[in-house]
Structure 1
């Protein structure tokens, strides 16, 4: 399930500030990421994607598991995550092993687990290839405007054109730290920022044109339709 090696935005080191790690995966071997995309950072609520996937496919199949998984993804409900992580303490490590997520590590407290933007996008891309009917995509597409704790869910990768569903994460203590991951037709994208939701949105949207140019390549290769659509969506006068 490993993705192709990602190109880096090294044609312009200032494209993405080091506070933000970002990755994008597409079919046909298209992969892009910032130089720090494999850096293991706090998973925040992105770990709920891994817990939900494990409980849905390897759990006991109970309606309760499904309901808790839905609350984790739609509402980023911490209480639901604590219940499922307590029932399946191996979920994050097992999911990391199954999908080859090398920077993803579980913890006795799911909130202290770690992952990378590369791992998140590789996971979502693998799900799109092998399990496109997963309810995880339905729940991401129907995410609540406001999380269970009252946090707005509307920043970062969710603001990219073509996005169909998203999951967000944030730190409740210490310096601001946020994450987001989204999917659309044949692409997945994730970002993690040591900063605010507004910081992440700025970094993600500023990075996209450079990302598109990098994917196009120096040989004038034709852009896949979805990439061309993304470029059109962020074109500036």
Structure 2
């Protein structure tokens, strides 16, 4: 059994036992310790566990913001689940996730123009909208964290998760992929996003054993990493983040 399948299986078993009235160990993540008062409003931050509806974050976690290249997760998921099943779609999906390839996203979006809005409806993502152009699409950190948690619960062997575990060191445009939620302890896989024009704006979403975490920052990769590490220190203070 792969590590993602093992994590999901153990969480699912724990949920079932708890429902049956049998005492089980609680997740290490404790929402009661989360204090977002020191997180600048430039960053929206959301954490989810594998229990549907269980999670927490900053007050702006539901704020609709630019999806940036996190939209490629929605595009890839739609193509894999509802596309024509072609090898080309799978190749384009891998390029979108591992290398954040814009050209691959353009081709999938042209082929499936309603993909993002369809994903929003399927996963009940209230702040996620396609806007007729994936580069203009929106989402929230709550939406993307919920989406990724659903993938872990319901489809732990999804190629999307495997691709997130094996990102290219540099994206197709040469951007180094190494900031934000990827710097947290026990993270298995990450997808990043960034703005190519205008003021700096970055996003990242990751998953680990029993959790997903997403962040969006009106600022630089370095600022997002700073804010994410500060937020995580209140979620699980005994764990030392990677710096």
Normalising by structure 2, what TM-score? 0.83
Could you list the runs of 4 or more consecutive aligned residues of structure 1 that deviate by over 3 angstroms after TM superposition?
Answer: 7-12
Aligned length: 212
Structure 1 residue ranges without an equivalent (≥5): 1-6, 214-230
The verdict on how the C-alpha distance between 1:12 and 1:156 changes in structure 2, with shifts beyond 3 A counting, is closer
Q: CA deviation at 1:11?
A: 4.6
1:56 corresponds in structure 2 to 80
Q: Which residue matches 2:50?
A: 27
Q: Over the residues paired in the alignment, what is the CA RMSD in angstroms? A: 1.8
**Residues 115-135 of structure 1: CA deviation (Å, up to 9, x unaligned):** 000000000000011011100
Pick one of 129, 137, 154 that aligns with 2:161: 137
Q: CA deviation at 1:232?
A: 2.2
Does residue 1:107 correspond to 2:131, yes or no? yes
> Once the 2 structures are TM-superposed, how far is the Cα of residue 234 of structure 1 from its aligned partner?
3.8
For 1:200 and 1:146, the matched residues in 2 are separated by 18
Query: Is 1:75–1:147's contact at 8 Å kept on the other side of the alignment?
Result: yes
1:71-220 equivalent positions in 2, closer than 5 A: 71-212=95-236
Unaligned runs of 5+ in 2: 1-30
Structure 2 residue matching 1:138: 3-state secondary structure = helix
Aligned residue number for residue 93 of structure 2: 69
Measure the CA separation in 1 of the matches of 2:227 and 2:152.
26
Q: Is the 8 A contact 1:54 1:91 kept in 2?
A: yes
**Cα 1:12–1:97 shift into 2, 3 Å:** closer
- SS of the equivalent of 2:240 reads helix
